[in-house]
Structure 1
Amino acid sequence: MTELTFDIHAKDGDARTGTITLPRGRIRTPAFMPVGTAATVKAMYPQDVHALGADVVLANTYHLMLRPGAERIDALGGLHKFMNWPWPILTDSGGFQVMSLAKLRKLDESGVTFQSHIDGARHHLTPERAMEIQRLLGSDIQMQLDECVRLPAPEADVERAMRLSLRWAERCKAAFGTQPGHALFGIVQGGESPALRRASAEALVGIGFDGYALGGLAVGEPQDVMLAMIEASAAYLPAARPRYLMGVGSPDDLIESVRRGIDMFDCVMPTRAGRHGLVYSRHGRINLRNAKHADDPRPIDPESSCEAARIYSRAYLHHLVKAGEILAMMLLTTINLAYYETLMTDIRAAIAAGRYADFCAETKARWARGEGPESRA
């Protein structure tokens, strides 16, 4: 076992708050990990991401293996030094990006052969190579290589992919070997089948990992299906290990998944939305492209802990968005990440106080009321 420890501090139903401890720092859970796909959280300085409350960021194996290359990053001192982020980093395995981005994929027992979406170069990604890349990057939490199936799909295809992912999980653990200070997570697959999710979870626990992720969700299925699959998986995962829901999601997805025992999340939603004129706030989502904001002197949220949400008017932000100014992307991304990290802080406090159900109800009611009690919609 590695040097990762996970201490649970409080529980409220299945929701729990705790701390993941690694040599490079502590991760307060439930945790939202900003996505730094290509060794950067887009439109953000690394120190500003940390100052907003992020204890850990996610970087992407697929993108970094293609550009600038894992061997190059290793030669330059590793990913933490390369991107000036001294705190924990989680790297995904690249499996999802191979499914969604690569050209001319060919998958077999050994791994997946694909053409780069950048230059068409051919690559062969095996479980062993996925572990080698992540070891070269030096990430603190590494993910097994798995096969992601687009849903809906025939159950036979889902089961085949799940069984293959389990065989790859065994190979990943063997290839991971002993890496003091670094952790390896397995990934539960099984599509929309509770039985397959249970079988995957139980088999992964038998192999033994430092934490367990739920993959193959948030790919277009209804929220109720996603939540049912969380329940079908979490019940068979060890309570003493972190649970990570990959690629999720919206604020509502976060609070409902925490309610079902999830500890970690990542999603491009807050950063991507910020680059496209959308803001997340205590009062819900605001589309700053809408003309109604052109003459609105109000800030996004006068009570926000984020200065950008307090001091810039909606009219000014609307102008920046419509003009295509880079500052719009920077400010809106900051506002969104600040809101997400504040939401996680509030979630942890509500769990610790034993009032998580009330917190969820109050938060959803505020979202339903819209942009604030003084809204001029």
Structure 2
Amino acid sequence: MTERFSFRIDATDGKARTGRIAMLRGEIRTPAFMPVGTAATVKAMKPEAVRKTGADIILGNTYHLMLRPGAERMARLGGLHSFMNWQRPILTDSGGYQVMSLSELNKLTEEGVEFRSHLDGSKHMLTPERSMEIQRLLGSDIVMAFDECPRADRPFAEIEASMEMSMRWAKRSRDAFDTGGDHAARAALFGIQQGALDEGLRARSAAALREIGFDGYAIGGLAVGEGQEAMFATLDFAPDQLPEDAPRYLMGVGKPDDLVGAVERGIDMFDCVLPSRSGRNGQAFTWNGPINLRNARFAEDLEPLDSRCACDTCATYSRAYLHHLIKAGEILGAMLMTEHNIAFYQQLMQAMRDAIGAARFAGFADDFRRNYCKT
């Protein structure tokens, strides 16, 4: 039987690395991009269509699923995998970021966060222990420790205090996860490094996480408004502070050129709502950069979205047709654009895996940026 969780590195090229995560529900090729299925769905796509793009794993959202349909109900219905017909691995975030950013009247204490739902105003309490319980009820394969995600522009003392509390919450998350019975025996737990843009705080956070011990390690607190230059400057040191023999997951990132730059700096896993959200709003990602299909210049353009893309959208439909669907507000437009964007992200990940394996990643990255960022 496949073991609960293992990670192997198959090849390296500079700091970039390609490998595989083995779990009971399947293998995850790294670097990996996880489409975001916030409320048990990658918006505008069937799960089988998401898999067809090459995705090995998707992300579910603890905050949204605890509010609707509810974690206990999800467990009664057989868990998230059977509920949404996705039988491969699912990573669930802890809910901490959404509690801070979406809910009303937050009250943050050492115990956790008391908040009101953005849906109906009902009151809830989310703690490390409750976050672990919810992710167990959902049946998550990769569980994220509960943390707070402060913005980088907060005062240093606040960022330091937040990081230290997140490390205490990480230990409580570890303890609660380990009492999860059968779920703990088949799932994995990732810790989350915090510390904003400060190298010293990040080092302290990484040391605390290593002492606790996790299956994988995420870099949190980036992609929250600091800009690509500051993010890359932080990634120049943050991944190196984490264990080399465990996956490194950059949360909430990002644009295609963000992914290439992060892989260049040693990142193995990503998630972001951008490809699906952009698709629903008429933006397509291509090897020659993003394009806005709402633009009138595409009204009579019979070329595919991207001649290098192998997805069904590019093989079947023209830019003119997609322009028409989007301008007309047709649901099919959002479906086809999302399918293309998710497929493009998966093709980009495969291209990076191939380049690392062939020891030509630096040249690939330079060529990608030359074409993608030329406009």
CA distances 1:67-118 after superposition (whole Å, capped 9, x unpaired): 0000000001111001100000000000110111000000000000000000
Instruction: Output one character per residue of 1:242-269: Cα deviation in whole Å (capped at 9) or x when no partner.
Output: 0000000000000000011100000000
Structure 1 distance, partners of 2:153, 2:296, is 38
Partners of 1:176 and 1:188 in 2: CA distance: 18
Are the aligned partners of 2:193 and 2:220 in contact in 1 as well (CA < 8 Å)? yes
CA RMSD between the two structures: 1.0
> Residues 296-328 of structure 1: CA distance to partner in whole angstroms, max 9, x if unpaired?
111112332112113211111111111000000
Query: Within 1, Cα distance between the matches of 2:166 and 2:106?
Result: 17
Q: 1:301 aligns with which of 298, 302, 306?
A: 306
Equivalent pair of 1:303/1:310 in contact (CA under 8 Å):
no
Q: Which residue of 1 aligns with 2:171?
A: 170
What letter is aligned with 2:194?
A: Q
* Residues paired across the two proteins, number: 369
Aligned residue among 234, 245, 251 for 1:246:
251
Which of 243, 261, 265 pairs up with 1:256?
261
What residue is the counterpart of 2:365 in the other structure?
Answer: 360
Secondary structure in 1 matching 2:285: strand
**Residue 16 (structure 2) pairs with residue 15 (structure 1):** yes
The amino acid across from 2:139 in the alignment is G
For 1:199-214, what aligned pairs fall within 5 Å after superposition?
Answer: 199-214=204-219
CA distance in 1, matches of 2:308, 2:209: 44
**Alignment map for 1:220-299 (pairs within 5 Å):** 220-299=225-304
Structure 1: gaps (5+ residues): 371-377
Q: Which residue of 2 aligns with 1:373?
A: none
Instruction: Structure 2 unaligned segments of length 5 or more: list them.
Output: none
Amino acid at match of 2:21: I
2-structure distance, mates of 1:285, 1:302? 14
DSSP-derived class of the 1:35 partner: strand
Any conservation in 1 of the 2:287–2:308 contact (CA below 8 Å)? no
Runs of 4+ in 1 over 2 A off after TM superposition: none
> Following the alignment from structure 1 to structure 2, what is the Cα–Cα distance between the partners of residues 258 and 303?
22
Q: In structure 2, what is the Cα distance between the partners aligned to 1:365 and 1:231?
A: 21
TM-score by length of 2: 0.97
Deviation at 1:230, TM superposition (A): 2.0
Match of 2:58 in 1: 57
Structure 1 residues 303 and 112 mapped into 2: Cα distance closer, same or farther (>3 Å)?
same
| Offset of residue 150 of structure 1 | 2.2
Q: Does 1:142 align with 2:143?
A: yes
Moved more, 149-158 or 62-71: 149-158
Return the alpha-carbon distance in structure 1 between the equivalents of residues 52 and 146 of structure 2.
32
Match in the other structure for 1:325: 330
Inter-partner Cα distance in structure 2 for 1:93 and 1:307: 34
Distance in structure 2 (CA, Å) of the matches to 1:361 and 1:303: 18
Counting aligned pairs with the same residue, the percent is: 59
Aligned-residue offset at 1:205:
0.6
Q: Which moved more, 1:229-238 or 1:163-172?
A: 229-238
The residue type equivalent to 1:268 in the other structure is V
Q: Verify: 1:313 aligned to 2:318, yes or no.
A: yes
Q: Which of 191, 195, 203 lines up with 2:200 in the alignment?
A: 195
Q: Kindly state the Cα deviation for residue 369 of structure 1 after the two structures are TM-superposed.
A: 4.3
Aligned to 1:97: 98
For the Cα contact (< 8 Å) 1:3–1:22, is it kept in 2?
Answer: yes
After TM superposition, list the pairs within 5 Å mapping 1:38-49 onto structure 2: 38-49=39-50
Counterpart-to-counterpart distance in 2, 1:133 and 1:288? 40
TM-score (norm 1): 0.96
Which of 230-239 and 78-87 deviates more? 230-239
Corresponding position of 1:3: 4
